[in-house]
Amino acid sequence: MSNQKIPRKVATGLATGNAAVPELAAQAVMQAMEAADTKVASSVLLFLTSEFARDPVPALRAAAKAASCIQVMGCSAPGILTEEDWILDAPAAAAMVFSDGINLQTTSVNKASQLLVTLAAPNAINTTWMSAPGVRFGGVSGDAMGQGPFSVWQNGKGAVAGHCEATIQGVEAAIAPAHGLRMLGKPQLINAANGHDLQMLVNKPALATLRQACAAIKGAEDDSLPLHSLMAVFADSELQIDEGVYQLAALVSGNESDNSVTLARKVEKGQYLCWAIRDAEAAQFNLKQTANQLAAQLPDKPDFGLIFSCLGRGPYFYGGVDRDLVLLRQLFPGMPFIGFYGNGEIAPVNGINELLQYSAVLGLFSGQTK
């Protein structure tokens, strides 16, 4: 008998209103249940906007009741999305329901290769659990100020630790971050660095190399640096940067006193670094390339997807339209996906779970064959 693919039993719902009432969560779940043609869900991924952050429990109970299950996992965020639309600055709920052999499952002991959907509040990010066994991908939640007493939840109640994680059972998965940066030149060898202060690149003062890289994009007559749009891309080799396997660091300041550049992360002598700038067209190209590569890794076409995007990358970045959402709809017509705009993104980079900025982390999932 030939292999038969498991019928898709994953679907989404999106509800918005004028107030953060529990009925919005129930409405989103019921829409998803109807789309999945199921009466009982095995689990629910529920994202709520910031208006719910102070007291999400009534909404969690409403979602659990509508789904007839207690495994409700999710978080609050400044904005949420499904394949239907994105919502910012309004009370809303987005739900993805799982059933018929596909479900979210918590584990007490994780394997090193185990893929974990990971959600965390800003104050819960630390190296202890980020570096524990498991391949993590997800996002940093919270309200617009990175706060909220129950900003992360699992099993239908607030996660006391401030973070939660679960595997998605019954699927094959492919995940990767899309950074959306345009490189300003080629990778250069770091000759000197002191903690967060980058001092010398290819035997030149770091600040001088940054100004040289920016000259083509800002005009020689303007001596200021667009630090909010610039990033440092670094890795252990030029090849890693060329292949997109690199770490990112925001720029804190350019220091005229010693011609160094202070970065948000430490770099080391002997590594390679390239200056880069956030760019809308580069972001679209990189996301399309990433999505196609992930789809090619799966044994069959993807059944659903998750996307965790930076608040600074969504509609605010694209001039009022989330072009990432438009692109995903074009690439995967009719495919359900869900996500949120957060305060950081989590993904494995070169075998290490990293906290990213201004990125989009995409996961595509295909139901296993039997």
Domain ranges in the chain?
10-178+283-367, 181-278
Q: Alpha-carbon distance 318 to 109, whole Å? A: 41
The per-type count for the chain, helices as H runs and strands as E runs, is 7, 26
pLDDT higher than threshold 90 for residue 370 = no
pLDDT at residue 362, rounded to an integer: 98
Contacts of 253 (CB under 8 A, 6+ apart): 227, 261, 262
- 169 pLDDT band, cuts 50/70/90, is very high
Residues in CB range of 109: below 8 A, 6 or more apart: none
pTM score: 0.90
Please say if the pLDDT value at position 184 is more than 90: yes
Cα separation of 296 and 186, whole Å? 29
Q: Enter the DSSP assignment of 273.
A: E
Do 319 and 281 meet the contact criterion of CB atoms below 8 Å apart? no
CA distances from 3 to 10, 235, 299, 325, 348 (A): 20, 42, 12, 32, 32
Confidence at residue 365, expressed as pLDDT on a 0 to 100 scale: 97
pLDDT score of 368 more than 80: no
Mean pLDDT of the chain: 90
User: CA 336, CA 45: separation in Å to the nearest integer?
Assistant: 13
Mean pLDDT of all residues in 87-95 = 96
CA max distance for the chain: 74
**Tens-place pLDDT, residues 218-254:** 554 455 778 888 999 999 999 999 888 899 999 999 9
The reported pLDDT for the residue numbered 326 is 96
Paired with 275 in beta bridges are 232
Judged on CB neighbours under 10 Å (0-12, 13-18, 19+), 218 is middle
Q: First CA to last CA across the chain, in angstroms?
A: 10
Percent of the chain with pLDDT over 70: 92
Question: Residue 122 above 50 pLDDT?
Answer: yes
* Region of residue 269 (left: phi > 0; alpha: psi -120 to 50; beta: else): beta
115 SS3 class: strand
pLDDT in tens, 36-77: 999 999 999 999 999 999 899 999 999 999 999 999 999 999
What is the model's pLDDT at position 218?
57
Query: Within 13 Å of residue 104, how many CA atoms lie on the same side as its CB?
Result: 24
**pLDDT, position 4:** 44
